[in-house]
Amino acid sequence: MPSPSFPLVVFDLDGTIADTAPDLAAALNAALVSLGRPAQSLEAVRGLIGHGTRALLRNGLAATGGGDEALVAQAYPVLLSYYEAHICDHSAPYSGVEQAWDALAAQGVRLALCTNKPAALTDRLLAALGWQNRFAAVVGGDTLAVSKPDPAPLHLAIAQAGGGPAAFVGDSIVDIQTAKAAGVPVIAVSFGFADRPARELGADAVIDHYADLAAALAALPGAN
């Protein structure tokens, strides 16, 4: 078996390894409707995801007339309660991701997760998807005092997973900025929640399916 390109691969969560937009949209809309705001379409919400659930609410308020932090504080418990109760009603893995993980694991590659989703919600979703034992490290959006695109969460995920050369896989400009700030090569998936075409994000590589991951990793700067 060939040696792995990187001993560690870190993944973003929402829009990268799982399509969580339907459940996030439902939670956001529950909060918006509680304020008398119009519900947003699934496609509109996809472009609002990436900075965590509180930022999702801020973005939703901005798209429906604006709102200050007092309004965020009023509606956030509604979003949180709904999302906790419905976190995996419709969320699902992207095609081929589990097979790609199995192939990496067979080469001895460690996997880690670095997301802006709050840690408690991340753990709940991973359990619902049966992924609670997939990762050597899981860093959530509130694990540290800062979140992506600050590089500290990615550095922490790498350290907690055992360190060494690593690559990052994400779907949004937040992920690309994080990886670049951390000095880590990065792959963008084209099927996530980015607010622009994946090939305009500035990633080192773009994949359209997880069947392409191994080849993309092998072609990254710093690959073995």
pLDDT tens, 77-123?
A: 999 999 999 999 999 999 999 999 999 999 999 999 999 999 999 99
Which residues constitute the domain of residue 61?
21-85
Residues 37 and 145 in one domain: no
Residues 62 and 104 in one domain: no
Residues 154 and 188 in one domain: yes
Q: pTM, whole model, 2 decimals?
A: 0.94
pLDDT level of residue 189 (50, 70, 90 thresholds)? very high
Q: Which residue out of 12, 14, 19, 171 is catalytically annotated?
A: 12
Give the number of domains in the chain: 2
Q: Is residue 223 part of a domain?
A: no
The enclosing domain of 128 has a CATH number of 3.40.50.1000
Across the range 18-45, mean pLDDT stands at: 97
pLDDT level of residue 51 (50, 70, 90 thresholds)? confident
Whole-angstrom CA distances from 96 to 30, 86, 103 are 32, 24, 11
Q: Pick from 160, 111, 152: which is nearest to 13 by CA?
A: 111
- Alpha-carbon distance 182 to 179, whole Å? 5
Residues 108 and 205 in one domain: yes
Cβ 78 vs Cβ 102: under 8 Å: no
Q: Is residue 167 part of a domain?
A: yes
pLDDT level of residue 1 (50, 70, 90 thresholds)? very low
Q: Is residue 151 part of a domain?
A: yes
Whether 175 is catalytic: no
Q: Is residue 144 part of a domain?
A: yes
Across the range 126-154, mean pLDDT stands at: 97
Percent of the chain residues past pLDDT 90, beyond the cut: 93
Across the range 13-17, mean pLDDT stands at: 97
- Alpha-carbon distance 61 to 213, whole Å? 36
| Residue found by looking up tokens 């989703």 in the block | 117
Q: Pick from 3, 39, 46: which is nearest to 24 by CA?
A: 46
Contacts of 223 (CB under 8 A, 6+ apart): 5, 6, 167, 185, 217
Q: Is residue 164 part of a domain?
A: yes
The predicted pLDDT at position 4 comes to 86
